[in-house]
Structure 1
Amino acid sequence: MSISAAHASAFYREVIEHQEVWTVRDQNGFPAPEGSDGHRTMPFWSLLSRAERVITSVPAYRDFELISLPLKRWMEAWLPGLDRDGILVGLNWSGLRATGFEMPPLTVLDSVNSLTRDD
């Protein structure tokens, strides 16, 4: 399993356990950088500590503030909205360039839903 796949797996497990998702914003709003393939992706983290690590280690994210979102609200409003806007979801990005898995929002929604049904 790649590091990105491990981070994605941890993302699902941790958001279900803690019932919250973390993202970042600055005075311009929520970031959704464009990748080399032309798709925009909005990053989300499953734990405060994961998001803090990116803010403190990635220069492009240093001026962002951390935002906590209740899991239910994120699933009901954010993911459908990102899907309508054609923006992918970044799961637990990490490293000096803040990279990782990028997935379609409705795929992420289906994955969280299927895991919560299995409990």
Structure 2
Amino acid sequence: MGGTMSTSAIQLAAFCTEVAQTRTVWAVKDGNGFPAPVGTDGKRAMPFWSSESRALHLISIAPQFTGFKPVAIDWDSFCERWLPGLERDDLLVGVNWVGVRASGFDLLPSELKANVEAAVR
């Protein structure tokens, strides 16, 4: 595969590698629960991060995440409970969102699971 990897591909690769190692996914929540904003393509996505420090960094710079707290989710329960729920609600999974605008790569829950499992081997 030639060419340079896109930022989103790099974020996805980092997410998969880190989650494969730690078996933990990080979400953020506030008093209203877990955010699932509408993305650029008009679909809603719930963001997750592959480390607490990544989630904390976004909270510290993105105004719409002020007041949120990171929450650790075990990978097995993420696969068993979260991913089917996200599929059912027609939500995408946001992967390691970054920046003041809190943007990044979004993909289908089933695609995320396949990517992380590929990174385990």
TM-score range, shorter-chain basis? over 0.9
CA distance in 2, matches of 1:36, 1:92: 16
Counterpart position of 2:30? 26
Give identity over the alignment, percent. 45
Task: Read off the aligned partner of 2:108 and give its amino acid letter.
Answer: P
Matches for 1:7-86 after TM superposition, within 5 Å: 7-86=11-90
Which stretches in structure 2 are left out of the alignment for 5+ residues?
none
Q: RMSD of the TM alignment (CA)?
A: 1.0
Does 1:92 find its partner at 2:96? Answer: yes
When the two structures are superposed, what TM-score results if normalisation uses the length of structure 2?
A: 0.92
Structure 1 runs not aligned, ≥5 long? none
Q: Please report how far the alpha carbon of residue 37 of structure 1 lies from its aligned counterpart in structure 2 after TM superposition.
A: 2.0
Structure 1 residue runs of 4+, over 4 Å off?
none
Native 8 Å contact 2:20 2:117 kept in 1: no
Contact kept, 8 Å, 2:23 with 2:75, in 1: the verdict is yes
Per-residue CA distance 1:45-103 (angstroms, 9 max, x = gap): 00111001000011110111110000111111101110011000000001111111100
Matched residue of 1:37: which SS? coil
Partner of 1:106: 110
